[in-house]
Amino acid sequence: MADNDKIMALFTTRVRQMILQYNELKKENDELYAMVDKRDEELKRLRESLEQARKDYESLKTAKMMEISDGDMESAKRRLSGLIREVNKCITLLSGK
């Protein structure tokens, strides 16, 4: 019977050790899941920030293109006015002859 008592005590000790180890692993697992959830939230926030930055960039690019177009329009107007003056001079010269 003494052997049975020793075996039972050893078995009980091993079961308690397994329960403690299980609880520690469960706690570690919960912490790891919390870390993953936190990283997922951070990743989602960064993706939203990146998408907003892309939209802002596209808006700025469009605004810059419009600004360049306005500058080109003014330049084109000046060139056209110069050509009209030259045509008027030619007409004047041809009318005078």
pLDDT of residue 97: 58
Average the pLDDT over 18-29 and give the result.
Answer: 98
pLDDT of residue 85: 93
DSSP string, 82-97: HHHHHHHHHHHHHHH-
Q: How far apart are CA 14 and CA 8, in angstroms?
A: 10
Average the pLDDT over 79-95 and give the result.
Answer: 89
pLDDT digits (tens, 9 = 90+) for 41-84: 999 999 999 999 999 999 888 877 776 666 677 787 888 899 99
